[in-house]
Amino acid sequence: MAGKLNLTGPTSTEPHSAAPLHQLRRFSTLTPRVVAIGASTGGPQALAAVLESLSPYADNVPIFIVLHMPNDFASVVSGYLERLTHRPTSIARNGEIAKPGNIYIAPGNVHLRLARGPVGAIMSYFDGPPENFCKPAVDVLFRSAAKVYGPATLGLVLSGMGNDGLEGSREIVDSGGSVIVQDAETSVVWGMPGAVATAGLASAILPLDQIGLLTANLIRGFKSRLRA
């Protein structure tokens, strides 16, 4: 069994319903072809919980992650997630073609964006200014994922401070894709997921232990029980 990162924060909780004041959107009718994840404070634990339950069903989609962290910590998280999920996990490399079933983490000092390639998405570095005081920024990844994958884009916004991911989630939704956010009770900080939920951009607001399972069902095409 893989070891745990020596970080604080919740790893599981009892299921409960989303807050009724947040309006939920319909899920896309298309099966996701990509999973793009944004997280910050409390993110390593949240990522571990989501990816551990999602990993057995992720053969057909690449997974991209932006986690606000120092550059030298990205490789630590990458190695930990690879041991946990038993999936190829690496720092995204400039110009590399993304492979389904692989997990890619944005480097800690540059934006990660995707472009459409002949046989899959091409990852590229963008050394632009910070967005939302963040570099890498979730918004940059989400915007580019929406352009490449359109309505087959699934975004996950996990625990984190601020509102990075809000505008990127809006572009995912505008392209026909879907966004799932972590709920307030299981988030260390409900800034990033809360901003998306409050804007009415989420198709589900879930406790941490349910996000990976729902994502797995979506990428397997199981939609019959999802909220209309």
41-65 residue pLDDT tens: 999 999 999 999 999 999 999 999 9
Q: Residue 163 domain-assigned?
A: yes
* Domain span including residue 184: 34-219
| CB-side neighbour CA atoms (13 Å) of 176 | 12
Within a domain: 226:
no
Question: Does 212 map to a domain?
Answer: yes
- The pTM of this model reads 0.89
94-130: per-residue pLDDT in tens? 999 999 999 999 999 999 999 999 988 999 999 999 9
Residue 78 lies in a domain: yes
Token duo for residue 178: 């879907």
- The DSSP bridge pattern shows strands 121-126 and 111-116 to be antiparallel
Q: Among all residues, which ones are annotated catalytic? A: 40, 68, 164
Dihedral angle, C-alpha 77, 99, 28, 168, nearest 10 °: 50
Omega into 136 within 30° of 0, i.e. cis? yes
Total tally of structural domains belonging to the chain = 1
CATH number of the domain encompassing residue 182: 3.40.50.180
Is residue 154 assigned to a domain?
yes
